[in-house]
């Protein structure tokens, strides 16, 4: 079946460090891929998405590239800030089912 695997946290970084959060997926067909973010005390919100192979989603300095050959959608940011501290969820949407399947989430803590 369809599933998402993302690296376990917590990930602790100093401000201005480079961030990578790994995400791989298993899916039939060609899913759309997403990163959602949950800031402390807030609801989940879409960070970025990519709908086909080789697409790059980007927002707020974060990027992720849809890699079909490695079934991956790793999240990267060149220089993190304290305000990026949150839980990040990788997700896929299989085109037939219309539902999002989420990974378990990765807690990012950025220290000043």
Interacting residues with another protein (CB under 8 A): 31-32, 36, 42-46, 49, 51, 89, 91, 93-105
Looking at beta carbons only, is 57 or 80 nearer to another protein?
57
As a dihedral over the C-alpha atoms of residue 45, residue 53, residue 60, residue 5, rounded to 10 degrees, the angle is: 50
Burial 46-55 (b: 16+ CB within 10 A, else e): ebbbbeeeee
What are the phi and psi torsion angles at 65 (to 5°)? -115, 130
Which region, left, alpha or beta, applies to residue 65 given φ > 0 means left and ψ of -120 to 50 means alpha?
beta
| Least gap, CB of 20 to another protein (angstroms) | 19
Looking at beta carbons only, is 49 or 77 nearer to another protein?
49
Helix/strand/coil for 82: helix
| Least gap, CB of 96 to another protein (angstroms) | 8
Looking at beta carbons only, is 5 or 17 nearer to another protein?
5
| Least gap, CB of 80 to another protein (angstroms) | 22
Looking at beta carbons only, is 14 or 97 nearer to another protein?
97
């Amino acid at each position: 079946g369809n599933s998402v695997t993302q690296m376990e946290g917590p990930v602790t970084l100093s401000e201005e460090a480079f961030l990578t959060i790994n995400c791989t997926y298993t899916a039939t067909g060609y899913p759309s891929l997403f990163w959602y973010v949950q800031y402390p005390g807030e609801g989940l919100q879409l960070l970025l998405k990519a709908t086909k192979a080789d697409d790059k989603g980007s927002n707020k300095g974060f990027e992720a590239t849809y890699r079909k050959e490695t079934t991956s959608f790793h999240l990267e940011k060149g220089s993190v800030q304290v305000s990026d501290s949150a839980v990040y969820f990788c997700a896929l949407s299989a085109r037939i089912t219309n539902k999002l399947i989420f990974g378990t989430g990765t807690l990012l803590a950025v220290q000043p």
